[in-house]
Amino acid sequence: MKDRNPYFLLLDQLYKKAPVLPVSSRDKFVIISDLHMGDGRSHDDFKRNSRIFLTALKDYYLPKGYTLILNGDVEEALKCKISKIVKRWGTVYSLLEKFDSENRLYKLVGNHDPKILLAGSKPHFKLYDALRLQVRGGEFFVYHGHQSSFYYNAFSDLMAFVLRYGANILHIPNFSVAFNSRKRSHVEKMAYDFAKSKKIISIIGHTHRPLFESLSKMDTMKFRMEYYLRTLQETGEENRKEIEDKIRNCSEKIKAHNTENKKERTVNTLYSDRIVLPFVFNSGTVIGKRGMTSLEIEEGKIYLVHWFDKRIKKKYINNDKEYHFELPDSGVSRFILKHDTLSYIFSKIQLLS
């Protein structure tokens, strides 16, 4: 039974203690996780996309009035002293102070930046374990994701100190969970099952894998290919080649992904549901190979957004003007990967779960 599941109980405790934020249709939120800011040396994964992150915050989210939720693993405090991180990334902390001065910053803890290692650090920001965003029609439960592990909760302080002094020697990478299919599946399934029991939506980070309505990029690709196949049957000859090319493109991407990720479990087996419902969203990571991802909530809609710069290869760029916007004089672009209305998402949960 779920109420006896230790992971379920841990998340239930986290949920009950989380502050509740009423969200109006005028409010704007951006959720970003897994920066892993280090001390600037060779093992600092944040360096690669730091300019993208700074540009997105300074030139887009700050002036447009977004409230920033940093959903854990902001600092790589397991490997670096917080004082050295703050010294190296002073520009980042200056920006965070601007959000904070306007009461537009919520900083959540992750497994790489637990409270015990951030204690006494400056600048000091209030730290949260989780948040509950109440919107019209439903609720978002925002937490990093590592809390569904019994060991992280039972021995978090001990693990923090052990890893702080052993991670560099043992060469433990920041991608350990992201590259481990079994651990990633466990985190996502716990988030899905818990949200399902409450008829709410879990927003997590931790796994570095963006999810929108419980679906990964490849899950979405499979549904898209199925849609094109059905559309093909009703399409005239003048549009047939265009749709056939889209089907081939989807097929090639799925095959390439399956070759690289042979142990990847399908969305159906992961959630064990006849119908996969939108119980889980994941903001992805700042340290992605092709840029950073974020989740935006505003005007009754939710968006999964990809930020990138001119280093990305042209084959990965979709120039659809409705979804692609380049910030002036920066070379940094914002692209909407997926979006939907909150009313549709919560109606789907209430009626089908």
Q: What is the per-residue pLDDT across 216-266, written as a single tens digit (0 to 9) for each?
A: 766 666 656 665 666 766 777 777 888 788 778 777 777 776 666 655 556
- Cα dihedral 148→152→153→155 (10° resolution): 160
Average pLDDT over residues 85-89: 97
pTM: 0.84
Short-list 65, 17, 68, 70, CA closest to 46: 70
pLDDT at 166 over 60: no
323: which 2 tokens? 């979804």
Does residue 290 contact residue 312 with C-beta atoms inside 8 Å? yes
Q: What are phi and psi of 140, to 5 degrees?
A: -105, 135
Q: What is d(CA 313, CA 218) in angstroms, rounded to the nearest whole number?
A: 20
